[in-house]
Structure 1
């Protein structure tokens, strides 16, 4: 069963709506836009919401990756006045039906979730978490949180994957095989988005990665088969297109090499645990053993292509 539409006070919301669609249904004075947590939540729109699904609440928060991306998660803080946790869950069960997952805990302190229930639909999940004590979050005193988040990877693919697929097809037709320069790593590189791939294990892994890359505006593409056939999971390579553009690939992902890319090189020396090296080029992260001379050779190769210096940040691992 799917749950497509929700009524948040005066706001009629459906999956696929953007933040602008929420704002357009309300007077400007009734919305608050937050962006101070941009590291993981680029934009949040908060609306006043006195009641939702028979619960007395205060605000509803919508979040999206960016202005032109759909809202993919919504949460409603449950005010501290509603201290009867069981009653909150009973009201939600009466509205949504019996939850698929219920748990409780007797350790009553604010950092702990003492009552939790979840409802699973074909395209989204709804959960309520009740805390052991009062928390201060989003400028509110709260005792719990009702969360609604999208789990429809098919919708993400339909909305955002086509430009990536088109670019991947173009790349595949433009490879100059003689331009491939490969570099060996001690560690095998991993396919990205293990959490999302686990969550949507019924779908092909490439499909899931592409859908979420499109949603989050990642400048990454799946490595063309012609390149994959010439490297292993423990190799990375650069190559050129017929147009002269440079690309960097591991076995799984590819990024176009252009001036101004975000680049970082972190070498973590061992302490109690083994060290590690991370080289990140616009979201493509290459992991290897620390302090390898081969890494320096690879970095110099990248610097020549990008016409910039990539400084090594060295520290000790925790």
Structure 2
């Protein structure tokens, strides 16, 4: 089955993949809008249908308003199933007419809760199609959800999954900056080290629906493209820094040329200016069901360690001394 994967549609309006959420907003300004929901920035608007199925709304999502839309969701209207048919049957029949046979299906009717009032919160059937850079997924709910846009009995999700391709222009920009860092970060850099009791991890987002989702752990450029898409100020640590740090160490160094402090683990790095003290939070996670932990969030870099971490405590003190301002401290429970 041939599907044009260059764009998605909202009632005949074609929007190319790669369009940012901010640029898409005026394209749908004459369509009835609904309140955005949580998570990524999103735009919700009225939609009559998709692939021959009646719909109530369409939702576009992107990591930021100035990043490309990566997911489009259509809330589908209820369809009465035929004799001996299950809830998913009419949806799957129509989609297979348009998209061809699904590459994967899963029945989850056995997981329906006993109480009907909870049924709509479950998914009883799913199906998936993949066309080049686009994945289309169907989720049929166990009951009807009464949304602001109307009653909805299933969701259709279209995801753009080629992160390397869609991030090209954003990655080019960050790559230029990372290249320029070699002018400031030399082999003789004065690097303070803070040794944790917990190994850190590089930033990456795992898409478990991919055939080989953990390939990203061996593909540094793919990971860099993810950083360009999903982060604003998180960069790859240059090789000279990586060579000086272990998996359980945090590096701290001054970059006078940027009027900044560099803070990094073995893979990822942020730069902190004196006026950015409000972008640092120390979390003391108190024991509850879990044993607790300490977490230091420096802009988009997350540093984890065991609770009462002396290394994080010393790092916080160093930051406070250099910024001459206190680091915000919060508490939560390890639930």
| TM > 0.5 | yes
1:101 is aligned, of 92, 104, 108, to 104
1:87 matches 2:98: no
Aligned to 1:264: 281
Worse overlay, 289-298 or 223-232: 289-298
Q: How does 1:1-318 map to 2 (within 5 A)?
A: 3-19=5-21, 21-26=23-28, 28-32=29-33, 34-35=35-36, 37=38, 40-46=39-45, 48-82=46-80, 84-107=87-110, 108=112, 109-176=119-186, 177-196=188-207, 199=213, 201=215, 204-241=218-255, 243=257, 245-258=260-273, 259-261=275-277, 262-318=279-335
Q: 1:203/1:82 Cα in 2 relative to 1: closer, same or farther (>3 Å)?
A: farther
CA contact (8 A) 1:257 1:306 kept: no
CA contact (8 A) 1:3 1:124 kept: yes
CA contact (8 A) 2:56 2:149 kept: no
* Structure 2 gap ranges (5+): 82-86, 113-118
- Normalising by structure 2, report the TM-score: 0.85
Q: 1:312/1:51 Cα in 2 relative to 1: closer, same or farther (>3 Å)?
A: closer
- Normalising by structure 1, report the TM-score: 0.89
Q: 1:74/1:82 Cα in 2 relative to 1: closer, same or farther (>3 Å)?
A: farther
Root-mean-square deviation (Å): 2.5
Q: 1:11/1:120 Cα in 2 relative to 1: closer, same or farther (>3 Å)?
A: same
Cα distance in 2 for partners of 1:139, 1:54 equals 19
Q: Secondary structure at the match of 2:120?
A: coil
Q: Secondary structure at the match of 2:182?
A: helix
Worse overlay, 270-279 or 155-164: 270-279
Cα distance in 1 for partners of 2:203, 2:285 equals 21
Per-residue displacement from partner, 1:254-280 (whole Å, max 9, x unpaired)? Answer: 100112251111122334532211111
Cα distance in 2 for partners of 1:255, 1:268 equals 23
Worse overlay, 157-166 or 234-243: 234-243
Q: Secondary structure at the match of 2:245?
A: coil
Cα distance in 2 for partners of 1:82, 1:140 equals 16
Q: 1:34/1:66 Cα in 2 relative to 1: closer, same or farther (>3 Å)?
A: farther
Cα distance in 1 for partners of 2:103, 2:174 equals 36
Q: Greater strand percent: which structure?
A: 1
* Structure 1 gap ranges (5+): none
Per-residue displacement from partner, 1:206-230 (whole Å, max 9, x unpaired)? Answer: 2223222222343111111111111
Q: Secondary structure at the match of 2:200?
A: coil
Deviation for aligned residue 1:21: 4.8
Aligned to 2:116: none
